[in-house]
Amino acid sequence: MHWFPAARSARPAALLLLPFFLWGCGGHAPLADPIPDGAAGGALPATVSPSASAEQEARELVAAGAPGAAVLHLDASGLHLGVAGERALGGGDPVTADDRWHLGSNTKAMTAVLVARLVEAGVVGWDDTVESWLAELDPHPAYRGATLPQLLAHRSGLPANAEPAVMMALFGADALRDPVADRRSYAASVLGPADGVTAGVAGGVAAGPGDPAPFLYSNAGYVVAGAMIEAATGEAWESLIQTWVWEPLGITTGGFGPPPDGIQGHRADPEGRLTPQPPGAFADNPPALGPAGRAHMTLADYGLFLQAVLDGARGEGDPGFLSTESWTRLLLPMEGPRAPGDPAYGLGWGVLEEGRLLQHAGSNGLWFVRARLAPGAGRAVVVAVNEARVDRLGDAMTRILEGGEPPRR
């Protein structure tokens, strides 16, 4: 099992910040209709059916210590879901198939698809740079030429996260924050200071203007990309992702931050004891982090997105949603300097076995969701738990994702 942890920010009193991931020219452009007349609009509705084997796998995760768990298998026959455990530890309320799960950094692949759709609509371009849309923030020369693909592939040179003081200033309930303004503040903080550049490019800077920087997993890069498309469209990322990605794919349960009801994430104390965390200002990362990892939805709806990715990777995607050329760009690792142990990474996906597998994971410290796709076989697996003690759950998750047998007792 290969782990590639992203740098983490400071730990405020209420929350371990920010997800980790795992292998396993000015003015507003007019927006075109995201679903042209006659276009099918993405993946067809999938059949969601209960699965005894997936339920058994979910029970294995609960036996390993998770309060609640869900496992989703996707293949040619549809979506197969199993759930087990409790929504909140000790509450006695069982996890259901309709519960919404916090996706963490799995949101990044959705943001990348959003950018691709905006490129195809002529709203932004793949060669658009930070300076193209955020020049008024006076970005440091090291970042001015970073393109949208470089931001989405973690090759912009930006640091992993904003400074802790910046993050703390942006906390608050979603209803009380302005995420667009917050993203601009966040972007200004990571793009501007020279000392931030020094800290952020520990792996080195780009060889020349416009060249990809060494790989450095960066939530900041996705926030900056979000601020760029907001500047281009005049709309919030939260609105754009719904209109241009979720609605065309038939996703109806998508939202932002912790799910407002039902299942809850759990925080672990230093001894590993879990406490349920009701929705609130410190039950997730700040709203500014939306493009990097704050989406939630049911696993059935997440399966609709994964079906679109599988179809696109196989050259069978709906061209009314996204072209094969765009899917290739999204799922092909970006070339550039790579240190030993650095992953191959496309735009929102880790790429394994020369493209035969796609993988990602996400967590805000209270949830943990991992997805693994085998495009050639037309299959995907998702495992989700409402806590994040990877030391206790990582082996069981990997075994399920890889199709291995549980150890004999």
The pLDDT, as a whole number, for residue 406 is: 55
Average pLDDT over residues 307-335: 97
Residue 172 in this model has a pLDDT that exceeds 50: yes
Name the residue with tokens 């609960």. 62
Q: Give the CATH H-level superfamily of domain 3-402.
A: DD-peptidase/beta-lactamase superfamily (3.40.710.10)
Residue 9 in this model has a pLDDT that exceeds 50: no
Phi, psi values for residue 43, rounded to 5°:
-65, 145
DSSP per position, 258-297: S-SSSS-EEEE-TT--EEEE-SSTTSSS-GGGHHHH-EEE
pTM over 0.85: yes
More confident residue, 159 or 343: 159
CA count, 13 A, side-chain hemisphere, 48 = 16
Residue 88 in this model has a pLDDT that exceeds 50: yes
More confident residue, 401 or 26: 401
What are the tens digits of pLDDT across the range 353-405? 988 999 999 999 999 999 999 999 999 999 999 999 999 999 999 999 998 65
Contact 62, 83 (CB under 8 A): no
What are the tens digits of pLDDT across the range 93-112? 999 999 999 999 999 999 99
More confident residue, 299 or 45: 299
Q: What is the mean pLDDT of the chain?
A: 86
The pLDDT, as a whole number, for residue 24 is: 29
